[in-house]
A and B are shown apart, each in its own frame.
Chain A
């Protein structure tokens, strides 16, 4: 499912709204989630899962081409942990 398919499915669920509302909804939700993570905040969606940042400490890496040692700086990477309902629904045997 792509973003545009998600928008279409939401629009189909809310026939009283104009199509643009579903489009804007997806944009507002994803922007708010990105911004929360950028601020270092967690996201917690009951029944779906949570997003948080994982810290990667600085390390010595190697340039695979030249073999030269380079310092890879510390960074934060987004991490998702599926919630109970999502975990259980995804793991159901396929019929």
Chain B
């Protein structure tokens, strides 16, 4: 099973009481606000879940794995996610229950 925007919208319909249209728009808005903050260079800290941070990576040498040709990997800004202690603990506890 994979959790997608459609399932999240269903949950907002059931648990928050939004209508279907609002639920769909709200899910879209949720991720758009996070993208927007990151795009503006602002990190996003969602307590209990995790942090989205930005890292500026310098240019480094790379290689085309097919041809073996050397090509530089350009400098870029990337997003990293760090799960909170709470999320890590939640994942561990449930996984351990399942494996025992």
Contact = CB atoms under 8 A, between A and B. Distances in A.
Number of chain B interface residues as a range: 35 or more
B71 interface: no
Contacts of A24: 15-16
A41 B3 CA distance: 7
Contacts of A72: none
Contacts of B50: 78, 80
Contacts of B1: 36, 39, 41
20 contacts: A1-B42, A1-B45, A2-B47, A6-B34, A14-B22, A21-B17, A21-B18, A29-B8, A34-B49, A34-B91, A37-B87, A38-B93, A41-B2, A41-B3, A51-B81, A76-B92, A77-B88, A80-B79, A80-B80, A90-B39
